[in-house]
A and B are shown apart, each in its own frame.
Chain A
């Protein structure tokens, strides 16, 4: 729906003429994100460059009843930045300064549009460490990471984005700045709203300046790759490692289909007959400690029946070991035009059941699938390969995804470990919870967003 020109002018007054887009081609380019969903063209796009402009843009949009979609880099996989046709997209990617990296008190203050990997590099340059490393870190924004509580390969030991949010300023529906959290390790003064904002998916307000926690980096690490002829044995290994009181920083899993796709694409010499691969990395403050942990892990792998174990002796070999995991998504993505990357998460012990179910469902619907994921977190990425132009096939994909969710819930798991609900999974929320939960969350939402303009149609609907 075209925007009223007078209102467009008002947005121009707030952020500058160059920072408001109303042309067809520009609007079309904010109609999608990384979810496989139909695009929707917004009515207007505004790109503030400062906190003040961000507040004023929100206020103006809210006063005029425009549905608001906040967009970082638009890499989410749940459609949560696909806007409303009569709405505004507010970009945060130009509000992107690192305001402070405090080496004494181990925190940093950033604007929401800072790119994750660039931030991690700036922190590393100061000898510190920001662990959350989603696969999209080269392009995702920290605001987007918080709004989806993004996880990464290091989740098992270091936690996910929410574990690093100490506080923030949130732009509320009036365009006012709400302060929550602090720069201190301890904080009990107000409601823990920073935690509420994690995974809020743009439905409660807009994060402005954010305080994140930093930690000292590990001084040593060791990576190894273990092959298994049975998914159950891989799963027992995961449980065994945790039971032996070693917490690897990464514990990744590739199933047989996934191994085959990677091998077909890269010819790296992966064992195509293996039922599963575990890629394990331990790290810590001391080389000897890390060696001991690595030995323990190897012991568990052997005891649980790993058919082959490769240990990286140097950085080059470590790089090589990780190659299989790095290439998992590219190999799957290249195999077919459309990649439906799912995110169902189950208790760790249910990983073999989940993998078996995914493969059975794929067979039932005659679909190609490969599964990889964060075995330590029970967070799997069953990835369905298809061609979205083939309507009949895509209907089967949708049916298969529904069934995958059913199984995940029946295994006491959850719809999404890190990719979020957005539009894609909103209809499933009641099934995971109950009607009362939906109502409660909607009431909470209404209190913070009386006109329900913040990312309407997402999360709780």
Chain B
């Protein structure tokens, strides 16, 4: 390898220390062989066809930043942000590059150098890490939203808020629930039921505040199958918004808060209806637990083994018999949430459940495992891009003409509702758990 193109920008001591911190990722970065295979599955690249939006581009830029071949940290951070952290690239990568590790740490390191914006500080540190305040604020918003949102699509139950379009864009979003799950069911501490199992229940923010019916359905399933539930009061966010925003320390605060609540309850599994929470607890908590007390690290390790999503719990642990139903009915298709399929390897389980539902006919859509474009806070920062990615998902859905689109992640459900509503599609978006619970 000969000399590289020299950089244009002056190297300050701060940049030097940024590069030095990024160099810690060098052993991970070097394993990218620039084959470009990730371009085939990266949804952001698929939408923009820009190399810097693809995994390969981001990894190259990080390597250049750490070797002073470019010094535009802000631009690199901006590119890093154009990523759904969907993990599609990692499942495609022949070289086994630990891409998600690279991105999460790099976001933290570059963010440290650039500093958090005051809004981000308020959200990550002030709000998400303090569930009481977060809940109270959203409670107020839920009461007043009726004043300014109007119905957009009756079948989907979405609303739009033209008055507020300047800051939420033309998004069609489901209303905040009038009564979030936690107000109705703040905590539970049941003994193991007939199954002999007791589980911790982690509803997750979106389920709690937007889809409480998903949490109710999950509880119904657990009870019907004789599973005792432990739900500590005041659980905080799983931490992924802070982590993806590069605020690792806020994420660690949320994790510690949750660990303290989960520690006393003896349970066999931790169950969530949210694919994102499941993958965060299982995959990311261990990765950011450096410096935690040994007891906390131990708990995180055991949560890694115990955490699973409700659909996999039903099929793999409870081993519920799910005979395939013939005889047609309403058409239902399934969208694979990235966090479920790519992080946890769960994809046959929700399909098996759907295929067993009476009155439904299961149809598989094309590219069912292609990202819907939601990516948590990604959709807030890059709505147009998110919409562009979502449109491809919507077109694949529309092509199989379903009555219902099922998913097993509330964040994906929001995105699907938005996309379908924007296209005026009269279809329902439902969680697999809700549909199954109805049969009980």
A152 CA to B79 CA in the complex, in Å? 34
A75 and B35: CB pair below 8 A?
A: yes
* Given A29-B51, A29-B52, A94-B49, A138 contacting B4 (CB threshold 8 A): no
A420–B96 alpha-carbon span in the complex (Å): 26
What A residues does B114 contact at CB under 8 A?
A: none
Q: Which residues of B contact A93 (CB under 8 A)?
A: 49
Q: Which residue of chain A has its CB nearest to the CB of B37?
A: A139
Interface string of B52-86 (1 = CB under 8 A from A): 10000100110010000110100110110000000
Q: Are B5 and A34 in contact (CB under 8 A)?
A: no
The answer to whether A25 touches B70, judged by C-beta atoms less than 8 angstroms apart, is: yes
Indicate if the CB atoms of B30 and A138 lie closer than 8 Å. Answer: no
CA distance A23 to B39 in the complex (A): 21
Q: Chain A at the B interface: mostly helix, strand, loop or mixed? A: loop
Q: Bound state CA distance, A388 and B34, in angstroms?
A: 13
Is B33 in contact with A34, judged by CB distance below 8 angstroms?
yes
Tell me the bound Cα distance from A41 to B36 in angstroms.
18
Asked if A246 CB lies within 8 Å of chain B CBs, one says no
Do A330 and B30 have beta carbons less than 8 Å apart? no
**Nearest-CB residue, chain A, relative to B7:** A24
> Counting chain A CB atoms within 10 Å of each CB, which of B37, B51, B52, B57 scores highest?
B51
The distance from the CB of A426 to the nearest CB of chain B, in whole angstroms, is: 14
**Does A39 reach chain B (CB closer than 8 Å)?**
yes
Set of chain A residues within 8 Å of B36, measured between Cβ atoms: 33-34, 73-75, 136, 139
Contact across chains for A25 and B61 when beta carbons are under 8 A apart: yes
CB of A36 closer than 8 Å to a CB of B: yes
Query: Are the CB atoms of A25 and B52 closer together than 8 Å?
Result: yes
Interface residues on chain A, number (Cβ under 8 Å): 44
Q: Chain B residues with Cβ under 8 A from A117's Cβ?
A: 40
A28 and B50 within 8 A (CB): no
Q: Which residues of B contact A330 (CB under 8 A)?
A: 94-96
Measured between beta carbons, the chain B residues less than 8 angstroms from A136 are 35-37
Contacts of A21 in B (CB 8 A): 50
Among listed A219-227, A300-308, A333-341, interface-contacting one: A333-341
Residue of A nearest to B75 (CB): A25
CA of A23 to CA of B26, assembled, Å: 25
Q: Are A34 and B35 in contact (CB under 8 A)?
A: yes
Asked if A47 CB lies within 8 Å of chain B CBs, one says yes
Interface residue B2 (Cβ < 8 Å from any Cβ of A): yes
Contact with A along B25-43 (1 / 0, CB 8 A): 0110011011111011000
Q: Are A387 and B30 in contact (CB under 8 A)?
A: yes
Does any Cβ of B come within 8 Å of A32's Cβ?
Answer: yes
Q: What's the Cα separation between A224 and B185 when bound, in Å?
A: 60
Instruction: Report if A32-B34 is in contact (Cβ < 8 Å); known contacts: A23-B75, A26-B52, A47-B49.
Output: yes
Partner of B51, one of A30, A334, A387: A30
Cβ–Cβ contact A24 & B8, under 8 A: yes
**In whole angstroms, how far apart are the Cα atoms of A31 and B9 in the complex?**
17
A22 to B: closest C-beta gap in Å? 12
Q: Is A85 an interface residue (CB 8 A)?
A: yes
- Chain B residue numbers with a CB within 8 Å of A29 are 50-52, 57, 60-61, 79
Give the residues in chain A near B27, CB-CB below 8 Å: 337
CB contacts between A and B, total, < 8 Å: 109
Q: How large is the interface on B (under 10, 10 to 19, 20 to 34, 35 or more residues)?
A: 35 or more
- The smallest beta-carbon distance between B335 and chain A, in angstroms, is 21
Assess the B3–A38 pair: CB atoms within 8 A: yes
> Which of A23, A33, A85, A333 contacts B5 (CB under 8 A)?
A85
A411 to B49 alpha-carbon distance, docked (Å): 43
Q: Which A residues between 392 and 451 are near B, CB-CB below 8 angstroms?
A: 394
Determine if A28 and B70 form an interchain contact, defined as CB atoms under 8 angstroms apart: yes
In the bound assembly, the distance between CA atoms of A31 and B3 in angstroms comes to 13
Q: At the interface, yes or no: A364 with Cβ under 8 Å from chain B?
A: no
A37 within 8 A of B: yes
Q: Which of A24-58 contact B (CB under 8 A)?
A: 24-26, 28-41, 47
On chain A, the residues within 8 Å of B76 by CB distance are: 25
Judge whether B1 is part of the interface by a CB distance below 8 angstroms: yes
- A39 vs B31: C-alpha distance in the bound complex, in angstroms? 16
- Tell me the smallest distance from the CB of A400 to a CB of chain B, in Å: 16
Judging by beta carbons under 8 Å apart, are A37 and B1 in contact?
A: yes
16 A-B residue pairs with CB within 8 Å: A24-B75, A25-B52, A25-B70, A25-B72, A25-B78, A29-B50, A38-B1, A39-B64, A41-B5, A74-B36, A75-B35, A93-B49, A139-B37, A333-B96, A337-B31, A339-B95
Please list the residues of chain A having a beta carbon within 8 angstroms of any beta carbon in chain B: 2, 21, 23-26, 28-41, 47, 73-75, 85, 91, 93-94, 115, 117, 136, 138-139, 329-330, 333-334, 337-339, 387-389, 394
Known pairs A29-B57, A36-B1; list 19 more (Cβ under 8 Å). Answer: A24-B9, A25-B52, A25-B79, A29-B60, A29-B61, A29-B79, A31-B60, A33-B36, A34-B36, A38-B2, A39-B60, A40-B4, A75-B35, A115-B40, A136-B36, A333-B95, A334-B96, A337-B31, A388-B1
**List of 8 A-B pairs having minimum Cβ-Cβ separation, nearest first:** A25-B75, A29-B52, A29-B57, A138-B40, A330-B94, A333-B95, A29-B51, A337-B30
